Amino acid sequence: MNPEMAFFYAVALLMIATAFGMVLARDMVHGVLFMVGNFVLTAVLYLLLNAPFIAAVQLIVYAGAIMVLFLFVVMLLGAQDLSLSEPAGGRRIIGVAAVLILGSLLTFVVKEGLPAGTAAGLAEERLPTLAAFGREGVEDPQSGAAFGSPQMVGEALYREPYHIVPFELVSLLLLVAMMGAVVIASFGKGGVAAAGPEQRPGEDSA
Amino acid sequence: MPHIPSILTHFSPELILVVGMLLVLTYDLWVRGREGLQANLAIITTVLALVATLVLWVTMPGSHPVFEACGPGAKAGTCRPGAFISDDFTHFFRVLGLLGTLLVLISGQTYMRGRTAFKGEFYALVLSAVLAMNLMAGANDLIVIALAIEFLSITSYILTAFLRHDGLSIEGGLKYFLYGSITSAAMLFGMSYLLGIGGSTSVPALAAIARNPELAQVQGYANIMLPALALVLAGIAFKIALVPFHQWSPDAYQAAPTPVTAFLSVGPKAAGFAVLIRLFVGSFSSLSASWLGTMGLLCLLSMVVGNVAALTQGNVKRMMAYSSIAQAGYMLLGVVSLGGKTLMGLDSVGAVLFFILTYVFTNLGAFAVIIAVEQATGSAELGAYRGLMRRSPLLAVSLVVFFLSLVGVPPLAGFVAKFAVFGAAVTGGQVPLAVVGVLTGVVSVVYYFGVVREMFFGASEEGQPGPIRVGMGTTFVVLVALLMTLVVGLWPEPFITLANNVAHSIAPALQAAGGH
């Protein structure tokens, strides 16, 4: 096992551990901190794949901005003790069983479906766009941009119209989410006062 | 940029929807002090997009990829297929989605009046939901599929929880959201497998590998595809509300503002089937061994659970939720009878498309009545329908016709649709599923008849409530739906031809590969 692989396994094990930590944490703040750890480790994984730009974005956006938001919400709502919301015994057993079944099925399929050595061969031959760029020194044939560089990400997004749909769709999606926040979460003027009847006619108050 | 004319042409219905949505949203800013006309603006936008689609369909049939990636100096024909494709199949679902939304907007226009201060946001959200449905119909790339489904989901969550002062509405929206986020995660996980094996997110590229596994250079390619396709199927089945991904739907249907319920029962289902057919039948039909079993199970469960659970519902919106789960099961029956013989000129995919077409009109007609009754009585409980025959013969009689069509009684549209789907199932080697379908169809008579009995024979204890005044919008929608239900039932040929042509555009290889 070369050092790169060893490093990968170490990171992967840590990721699994932090994921478990997040799910099992009694204190919500601890859970969020485990999640930060998981996000940082994901960034390390991206670095291993020679994608420094994505790694940086992962750190700034997920480990940075989004986690601050999470912590903010947790602290504001003060939901520190999760023992009340823990699932009942039966449901927990079903959940664990479902996870185990899915996990072992996937492991079985990947192990049996891919004979030994195929995964490596797959990376070598079949995925030039992913794996070949992943090796050092490989450049985009058209622009000469190095794999994972901001330039290449930018060119993939903007040079050709292929990715315009997803790109613009995401912008619209943010607009829709914002509308949702305004409608559902706003106080005061929202929904009721300006609109007249607080209840649908004929319905009892809840 | 040689792409711009092509984008402006073949993407025009979607562009019209985006512009209309932004206009509706900002209406309050540039028109002050007048009664809001956002609903009318939304209707106009939908009509324009519908006209654009029809013009495209008639004048430029065939397949037109948009947003191609050709690279500088690439020769023609070497382009990566577009991220969005505008073909007959896309047009079919665009027209269905836009027509359905139009009927919902017309019949639900007065319902939202006075119920919310956020008129602009409401109609903007409806328009963005249609946009998402159109994108699902033509999505030709996994990223676009995932984003469009997510777009439609998020819009639907907000619309369900729109009446936030109503605790029920928020609860329904939250349940919908929690189920949705988990199935989305499962779907994306499955898609990551597809990308890992195929090396591309482009659906045609993946389809090429599926047809010729040599290209994948992975031994046991089909084995890996099994969990990948199952996970993707989970995401789509959630949108269609197939058992066991249906638990959100009765709560969401009951809690949502009724026009939204009408929309949810039709729009996401049709769009979900668009993705399902394009992906599984159009692209991965050669791998049918990997997904036919799973899908058959979903189909069986949906028909049984949907029809049986509907029996005990006291709320008509909830009953319609289960009824629409069962109807989705019947649609899926056509998908799993891949390679079924042609019956009345319809092959199995054509039968599904024909079924969806009749379902859209019949279900929206029924919901137009439900909206009208809820507006008059303030309730969607079974008791609200007591004596409806005396109070409004038009509503009562049309609801009976719609229910009969949903059951599948000749000579209505639903009969032809069910006949085609069951026929495809029998000839396509799914005889047990077809038998279950027929039996559960008989069960469905019971719960539809429960409503009918209330309407005709239910005696009101609190004296005689006055007649219901039916608005113009509702009358229009009910009449259109009635007309379609009767015309498609009595004179199905043109619609069969239409459905068949569309089916052939998505799965031309199906006849060759037919039978299994």
Structure tokens at B33: 């002090």
Positions of chain A with pLDDT lower than 70, given as ranges: 1, 78-88, 113-147, 187-206
- Distances in Å between the alpha carbon of A30 and those of A21, A22, A25, B14? 8, 7, 6, 45
The rounded distance, in Å, linking the Cα atoms of B505 and B61 is: 10
**Interchain contact, A113 vs B216, CB within 8 Å:** no
Which of B118, B177, B209, B214 would you mutate first to test chain A, the one with the most A CBs within 10 A?
A: B118
Lowest mean pLDDT among A6-15, B39-48, B452-461: B452-461
Q: The complex's ipTM?
A: 0.86
B42, pLDDT greater than 70: yes
**Interchain contact, B147 vs A170, CB within 8 Å:** yes
Count of domains for chain B: 1
Structure tokens at B39: 């609903």
CB of B132 within 8 A of CB of B148?
Answer: yes
Lowest mean pLDDT among B130-134, B156-160, B469-473: B469-473
> SS3 sequence, B407-451?
HCCCCCHHHHHHHHHHHHHHHCCCHHHHHHHHHHHHHHHHHHHHH
B52, pLDDT greater than 50: yes
Q: Which helix (H) or strand (E) holds B64?
A: strand B64-66
Q: To 5 degrees, how large is the angle CA A196–CA A199–CA A201?
A: 95
Give the global pTM.
0.89
pLDDT tens-digit map of B248-262: 999 999 999 999 999
- Distances in Å between the alpha carbon of B190 and those of A97, B227, B231? 20, 7, 5
Contacts of B194 in chain A (CB under 8 A): none
- The Cα of A127 is separated from the nearest Cα of chain B by a number of Å equal to 5
| pLDDT for position B217 | 57
Domains in chain A: boundaries: 1-83, 143-187
Structure tokens at B328: 């989705």
User: B444: domain range?
Assistant: 4-513
| pLDDT for position A161 | 77
pLDDT tens-digit map of A13-72: 999 999 999 888 877 888 888 999 999 999 998 888 878 888 999 999 988 888 888 888
What does the pLDDT average to over B420-444? 90
Q: Could you tell me which chain A residue has the CA closest to the CA of B127?
A: A176
pLDDT tens-digit map of B61-89: 888 888 776 655 444 555 667 888 888 99
| pLDDT for position B150 | 94
| pLDDT for position A86 | 62
**Interchain contact, B219 vs A115, CB within 8 Å:** yes
B39, pLDDT greater than 90: no
pLDDT tens-digit map of B180-196: 999 999 999 999 988 87
Domain A1-83 has CATH 1.20.120.1200: yes
- The Cα of A145 is separated from the nearest Cα of chain B by a number of Å equal to 15
| pLDDT for position B146 | 94
**Interchain contact, A191 vs B173, CB within 8 Å:** no
- The Cα of B441 is separated from the nearest Cα of chain A by a number of Å equal to 32
B165, pLDDT greater than 90: no
DSSP B84: E
- The Cα of A1 is separated from the nearest Cα of chain B by a number of Å equal to 23
| pLDDT for position B131 | 95
- The Cα of A51 is separated from the nearest Cα of chain B by a number of Å equal to 17
Q: What integer best gives the mean pLDDT of chain B?
A: 87
The rounded distance, in Å, linking the Cα atoms of B50 and B59 is: 14
Q: With bands split at pLDDT 50, 70 and 90, how would you rate the model's confidence at B156? A: very high
Which of B24, B119, B121 would you mutate first to test chain A, the one with the most A CBs within 10 A?
A: B121
pLDDT tens-digit map of B212-269: 877 765 666 777 788 889 899 999 999 999 988 998 999 999 999 999 999 999 999 9
CB of B198 within 8 A of CB of B206?
Answer: yes
**Interchain contact, B377 vs A202, CB within 8 Å:** yes
The minimal CB distance from B218 to the residues A114, A184, A197 is found for A114
| pLDDT for position B54 | 94
Burial profile B79-103: b = 16 or more Cβ within 10 angstroms, e = fewer: ebbbbbbbbbbbbbbbbbbbbbbbb
Which of B224, B294, B385 would you mutate first to test chain A, the one with the most A CBs within 10 A?
A: B224
What does the pLDDT average to over B458-487? 84
The minimal CB distance from B70 to the residues A105, A106, A160 is found for A160
Residue A197, class by beta-carbon neighbours within 10 Å (0-12 exposed, 13-18 middle, 19+ buried)? exposed
Phi/psi at B99 (5° precision): -60, -45
Give the residue with greater pLDDT, B362 vs A198.
B362
